[in-house]
Amino acid sequence: MTLPPPRSPLSSSSAASDVYKRQIFYHARNSNQAGELDFTYYNAVYTVENALAKVKDDKGMKRVEKFLREDVCPECHGSRLSAAARAPKLRGISLDEACQMTLEALVEWVKGVPGSLPEEMRPMAESICEAFESTAKRLMDLGLGYLTLDRSASTLSTGERQRMQLARAVRNRTTGVLYVLDEPSIGLHPSNIVGLTGVMHDLVADGNSVILVDHDTQILKEADWVIEMGPEAGAKGGHVIAEGTIDDLEAKPESQIGPFLSGKAETKLRRCAGTGEMFAEGGIHLSTGSIHTVKPLELDIPKGRLTVVTGVSGSGKTTMVLESLVPALEAKINGCLLYTSPSPRDGLLSRMPSSA
């Protein structure tokens, strides 16, 4: 088929020429047949944006996401606020600057907002600030006072996300409601559980009922009544083997959780390596740049030993292991350099390598 030069193209209706239409006259090589074809061309950006708008499931998203790149907006610097929204200042700071403050610092700043406004605006400001402080108190009771409002949800740890969901569920003071929570202590440090039990006690004090499905003895010791299922899992389970107060379960020989509540259970099953032999089989040295809540750090991990990474929820445990140690080991194995992700503040790519 012979394709002679196209006739004059039809103009696109889009100013950015996302769509370009052309008419092509063709003449077949081996016959006298000829005709016209209409072609519509779409540029790459339009094609990807159109496909993204039509995504309905994870499978479709996976096909499109290889053409996407997440970056910090050069105009708003990641605040997602327009210039008009960033311009006004209240108590010396703008809205985007307030979103960069930790929740703990923001609560203190909000307390002074009504007094900084004209008299006629104070009643409305006091109502708004009171609602904010009430919501923030729940989050702070659960140990989330270090989070900032502009923190991306995708960077939150499992424990942080669960506590935020819990705070959202109980922020409205209710009476006569039955709350059923399935293992809310997962991922929580013992010091964070104090805040969690405090929220539970507040719900009960307001006249609600709370049912917790949990294994953590620190949570169980706060219960008024405990129901223990067992004696085993699967087909050998499904029976109530003990119920009553904490004292009741500690005294019942059939209770499997009783010895752990009383502190009489033997939990140390093997001898731990001594300090002198800890690194006898070698070690892994990790040097990392700053990422999320994790600051630049240096640490050593012994080989052939059981190493536990602990700390309060949100202190950077998962980030240090899954976003620093594991990628560094993969880079080391593949013989390539590893770089940190773009900074959410200035949009610059940090060239500080992480190595193991």
pLDDT confidence tier of residue 8, bands split at 50, 70 and 90: very low
Confidence (pLDDT) at 194? 82
- Mean pLDDT over each residue of the chain, to the nearest integer: 80
The per-residue pLDDT for range 173-192, each reduced to its tens digit, is: 778 888 888 887 776 778 77
Confidence (pLDDT) at 223? 92
Amino acid at 13: S
Confidence (pLDDT) at 339? 58
pLDDT at 62 over 60: yes
Amino acid at 304: G
pLDDT at 54 over 60: yes
Tokens of 56: 């309905």
The per-residue pLDDT for range 28-51, each reduced to its tens digit, is: 788 878 888 777 777 888 888 888
Confidence (pLDDT) at 87? 92
Q: Which range has the worst mean pLDDT, 10-24, 130-144, 193-207?
A: 10-24
Confidence (pLDDT) at 6? 44
- Residue 195: enclosing H or E segment and its boundaries? helix 190-205
Confidence (pLDDT) at 302? 92
Provide, rounded to the nearest whole percent, the portion of the chain with pLDDT above 90.
Answer: 17
**Cα–Cα distance for residue pair 291/297, rounded to 1 Å:** 10
This model's pTM is above 0.85: no
Confidence (pLDDT) at 125? 92
The per-residue pLDDT for range 319-337, each reduced to its tens digit, is: 888 888 888 888 888 888 7
**Cα–Cα distance for residue pair 215/337, rounded to 1 Å:** 42
DSSP string, 21-69: EEEEEEE-TTSS-EEEEEEEEE-HHHHHHHHHHT--SHHHHHHHHTT--
Confidence (pLDDT) at 110? 92
Element counts in the chain: helices (H) and strands (E): 13, 10
CA distances from 9 to 12, 34, 76, 114, 168 (A): 9, 19, 39, 62, 57
CA distances from 347 to 77, 125, 288, 293, 353 (A): 7, 34, 19, 17, 17
Confidence (pLDDT) at 350? 31
**Cα–Cα distance for residue pair 273/33, rounded to 1 Å:** 87
The neighbour count for residue 44, using CB atoms within 10 Å, is 9
3-state secondary structure of 208: coil
Confidence (pLDDT) at 247? 92
Range 255-270 average pLDDT: 82
